[in-house]
Amino acid sequence: MLEYSPLDNRHKLKETKMKILLLGLSVLFLSCNTKEKGIGTDSEDNSPNIVLILADDMGWSDLGCYGSEINTPVLDSLAYTGHRFTQFYNTSKCFPSRAALLTGLYAQQVGVGRSWKPNWKQCTTIAAELKNKGYRTYMAGKHHGVDVPTDSLLGFDAYYGLLSGSHNQFNPGEQRPGEPKPAQKRVRPFYVDGQRYEPYTPDSTYYSTDAFTDWGIKYITEAVEEEYPFFLYLSYTAPHDPLMAWPEDIAKYRGKYKVGYETIRQRRFERQKELDLISEDFELYEPTHVPWHTLSEAEQDTEDLKMAIYAAMVDRLDQNIGRVMNTLRHLGQLENTIILFISDNGSSAEVVELSGDGKIGTVGQWTSLGGDWANVSNTPFRMYKNNSYEGGINSPAIINWAKLNNQNVIHHTYYGHFIDVFPTLLGLIDHPYEVQEKVLPTEGISFEAILRGKDTVPDRPLFFEWSTGAAARKGDWKIVREGDDWELYHLATDPGETNNLARTHTQELERMVQLFNSWKERMEAQSPIILEGEAAKYEENCWQLDS
């Protein structure tokens, strides 16, 4: 059953198509009722496990259940047997999103609103809270900070992964015999269960998405065998650049994107209407991609290859999430595990220029998706990562837990934020957060009641500030800027941000700007980072730092 407001008659379920999708995709989890060894299989009072999955630079339309042509049957099945959100917000940038997600605070309050280099302060994390409640806490993947996840502040028992931003998906370390030099911006610190490697040079079977999953499965198995509830944070680097994928995955999509940007964007847009994610009268913002026909045949072939690799990365991500689901099922834990999937920001238009061997998709060549395909990936929204328009800050978000006892719920009117995940997960396991000394109280509001179909969350304001962009939302109103001038949009009637009302609704604009300015003053007062001299100068330039 879909969740609608009384005004949502525009969303009419296409029952026949949806039933076909549900029938085909839910088959993946029909066997989840099988009870095998493991805690929590028969008792109703066992603490539920939590698997929090974060994608990196994934656009809103890149999953099948959000309109894509990319094959993502596992995530689709989790969506069609769970909850999908159409308005769930990130910070438009990797590391502030990660801080907000784990702490329930705005990144500015943690100290990383402008740079990933300061230590996190005046906060606790989901992992630390769950560890105090008897959970085993594990992380595999990208952290993008200087604090090591196994430090007491972050609260993870074990960690495998990339400490900083982006890395070569096949080899983040030194050149291996018989291979090209790995394309990379710089050597990145890597952790393997407490051991720091810089560089980290794995063997030739390494691929980031596979490796993070391997360790996640190892951690899950360890916790269940020792009869502990667990929290696993799987923080993938896919589909962030460099675009790299296994050849067999790329082959599935090679040639499918030669129809061009316009066709793929329109197909996704129409599919989103069929899935009742957006209304029939949704107005698309003018495309920012170049016309496909203006590209030469060679350029079209390269663009097809880039998008095929990107699709292959999303496909492989879904395959690996399937491995996690199968592990949970075989251990008898699937029904007792809360699964949340989300992306840290919109698809990215950033382009990294590095010399390499020229073979796109392989260990020796760093390739970025670019703004044209990012425009398509963020369908139906405007702009990309690093911007405060919906294309930068609106995440695909899925939550699934058998004990919620509802299927295919699409939340059209509720809007949430990464800061809400902290109180929600603690609420779902019946351990609400208690305020601590020297820790700021959470900014988030639990959406547990929404998931249980009991209540609605009030239209509280949400705020965004990254680089030259900023935004605020309260109810259906949103202000946004990229530079100095504020724009005003009414998202209930204009979710595509096509009609700027700043000149005609001046009182509403003033009210929203005052809300933002008050929030900004509070963030500056609460910031744990006081910068002087060279440090302040560095921070002023940090917007240009790569990820």
Domain ranges of the chain: 8-34+48-459
Does residue 367 surpass a pLDDT of 50?
yes
Task: Give exposure, 402-431, as e/b (b: 16+ Cβ within 10 Å).
Answer: bebeeebbbbbbbbbbbbbbbbbbbbbbeb
Task: Band the pLDDT of 528: cuts 50, 70, 90.
Answer: confident
CA nearest 8: which of 487, 479, 410, 515? Answer: 410
- What is the CATH code for 8-34+48-459? 3.40.720.10
| pLDDT tens-place string over residues 238-258 | 999 999 999 999 999 999 999
pTM of the predicted model, to two decimals?
0.91
- What type of residue is 182? P
From CA 314, how far away is CA 68, in angstroms rounded?
11
Residue partners of 379: CB distance under 8 A and separation at least 6: 59, 60, 61, 67, 265, 268, 269, 272, 284
Task: Band the pLDDT of 80: cuts 50, 70, 90.
Answer: very high
Least confident of 9-18, 142-151, 357-366, 524-533: 9-18
pLDDT of res. 530: 57
Residue bearing tokens 């066997």: 31
Does residue 286 surpass a pLDDT of 60?
yes
Q: Is 278:86 a contact under the CB 8 Å cutoff?
A: yes
Task: Give exposure, 168-190, as e/b (b: 16+ Cβ within 10 Å).
Answer: bbbbbbeebeeebebbbbeebbb
| pLDDT tens-place string over residues 154-166 | 999 999 999 988 8
pLDDT of res. 21: 47
The two tokens of residue 410 are: 């699409």
Provide the mean pLDDT of the chain.
89
Does residue 32 surpass a pLDDT of 80?
no
pLDDT of res. 154: 94
pLDDT of res. 312: 98
Does residue 318 surpass a pLDDT of 70?
yes
Q: Is 87:415 a contact under the CB 8 Å cutoff?
A: yes
Task: Band the pLDDT of 457: cuts 50, 70, 90.
Answer: confident
Task: Band the pLDDT of 5: cuts 50, 70, 90.
Answer: very low
From CA 328, how far away is CA 326, in angstroms rounded?
5
Residues of the chain above pLDDT 70, percent = 88
Strand, coil or helix: 151: coil
